[in-house]
Amino acid sequence: MSKPHPYMPNSVPEIKEKMMEEIGVKSIEELYSDVPERLRFKDTLDIPGPYTEAEVRKEVSSLLEKNSSLRCAPFLGGGVWPHYVPVVVDEIVSRSEFLTSYTPYQPEITQGMLQVIFEYQSLLCELTGMDVANASMYDWASALGEAARMSSRFTRKTNFIVPSLISPSRFLVMKSYTDTAGINVQQVDYNKATGLLDIEDLKEKMNNDTAGVYIENPSYLGFVEEQVEEIAEVAHDGKALFVVGVDPISLGLIKPPGEYGADMVIGEGQPLGNHMNFGGPLLGIFACSNETKIIRQMPGRLIGLTEAQEGGRRGFTMTLQTREQHIRREKATSNICSNQALCAVASAVYLSLLGPSGMKELSELVASRARYAMRRIGDLPGVRAPLFSSFHFKEFTVSFQDNTVDEVNQGLFDRRLQGGKSLAKEFPDLGESALYCVTEVHTKKDIDRLISSLREVLEG
């Protein structure tokens, strides 16, 4: 390139010359003398640019402008949900000192990040009722895969039981983690009226080789599993771990898994202050009880509170690193290195802002809005919402008698609304059903507009 580039201070020809002279080479080419001639890439990489900042800004903005504007947030959930992100969260995660740092390998100069992650771990524990949380996994789905593997390692058994009404996407990711570890995954049936887990079927599937029993609460289809004490008992009677996947927003209202016998809690931390970003970055929650034997099997980073060698001042450091790949290599509990630290920072700020009353109010608001929407949609002719009689938190099924979900969604899309996710392929038994999600970002006006639009679409 001819002109110096703003990101490369030494791209000034005189500087380059001077540096080469110091090293004792005549050209940069000499530094690449180890790269055999026949491997050389002779062309210029076919990548457009370089463009100036203003040009890049215009180019990328106009690309993004090709995405449609909706009249309100999509009525979609299922693993990523529209929630409001307080401005203070974005302010903190854009601080260069956090944003542009890496894993705090040098604890003395990165106490700030270490303390925030310790606070994140602590806040998650308070919310879920658990004792220990790690610094994050990639997302709920990979956390589930790791939880299945950890159950198997801990119990030295190889069966992992999950509900039939699980997110198919999470199920697929989990399989990517379990198939390679020789873990058999079994699915438990559900009660057709309530959606709840069929306890008899669970008992039948339990055997001496059951490593873990997993439920999602709220379930993928939005209802709250209420037989939790029973499920915990069945799991524990079979000497299996009880693993619960959560939407953390529900925990302002719903009893935390730590209070009903969960050994591990996983889930998706995205709604705690992280934007949807078309499905990532997300934040895999991973928490467990305070048993040394369990903690030592955990995947991922753990930040511990300790003190200075001299003077006794409180400080923070990565700990139990002998579980991790950079120390243990092939004997590590997981290969995870980079995780979702900045998303964990966002969630720490979010939970600090909301506090106990904020989480309770938000949880109630979300459930109330969803309840209202569900009732109003269910009142429409030819529509059933929800399919199951259990209590629903923020997601619920909507089933159409005379229309396909695709037709309805197209009609809504023409009105610049995004309807629920079609379940027709994921759960064909449920007919033409969609998974709707309503949160605090959907005002009564938004919901009423959805109802009137649905009515228009259904009336054709």
For another protein, the binding residues in 157-216 under the rule CB under 8 A are 167, 169-170, 172-173, 175-177, 180-182
Give me the residues paired with residue 398 across strands. Answer: 434
Applying CB under 8 A, among 8, 207, 239, 452 the residue interacting with another protein is 8
d(CA 78, CA 419): 13
Please say which residue, 140 or 160, places its beta carbon nearer to another protein.
140
Give me the residues paired with residue 373 across strands. Answer: none
Applying CB under 8 A, among 106, 381, 429, 460 the residue interacting with another protein is 106
Please say which residue, 320 or 430, places its beta carbon nearer to another protein.
320
Applying CB under 8 A, among 164, 186, 281, 380 the residue interacting with another protein is 281
- Closest by CA to 140, choosing from 241, 243, 270, is 270
Residues in 370-409 that interact with another protein by CB under 8 A: 371-372, 375-376, 390-391, 409
Applying CB under 8 A, among 13, 71, 99, 456 the residue interacting with another protein is 99
Residues in 214-253 that interact with another protein by CB under 8 A: 224, 226, 228-229, 251-253
Q: How far is the CB of 162 from another protein (least distance, A)?
A: 15
Applying CB under 8 A, among 199, 294, 295, 424 the residue interacting with another protein is 295
Judged by CB under 8 A, the number of residues near another protein is: 208
Residues in 338-377 that interact with another protein by CB under 8 A: 338-343, 345, 348-349, 351-362, 364-365, 367-369, 371-372, 375-376
Handedness of CA 407, 394, 242, 145 (dihedral sign): positive
Residues in 304-343 that interact with another protein by CB under 8 A: 304-311, 313, 315-317, 319-320, 324-332, 334-343
d(CA 434, CA 386): 10
Each residue 40-79 as x (binds another protein by CB under 8 A) or -, in order, gives xx--xxxxxxxx-x-xxx-xxx-xxxxxxxx--xx-x-xx
Burial 231-264 (b: 16+ CB within 10 A, else e): bbebbeebebbbbbbbbbbbbbbbebbbebbbbb
Q: What angle do CA 161, 164, 168 make, to 5 degrees?
A: 105
Interface with another protein, residue 438, by CB under 8 A:
no
- For 393, the token pair is 């938190």
Please say which residue, 73 or 458, places its beta carbon nearer to another protein.
73
d(CA 460, CA 451): 14
d(CA 346, CA 89): 6
**CB contact at 8 A, 387 and 432:** no
Of 37-45, 205-213, 380-388, 396-404: span binding another protein (CB under 8 A): 37-45
d(CA 301, CA 117): 10
Interface with another protein, residue 156, by CB under 8 A:
no
**CB contact at 8 A, 268 and 260:** no
Please say which residue, 207 or 290, places its beta carbon nearer to another protein.
290
- Closest by CA to 212, choosing from 154, 167, 168, is 154
- Closest by CA to 420, choosing from 389, 445, 390, 386, is 386
Please say which residue, 207 or 410, places its beta carbon nearer to another protein.
410
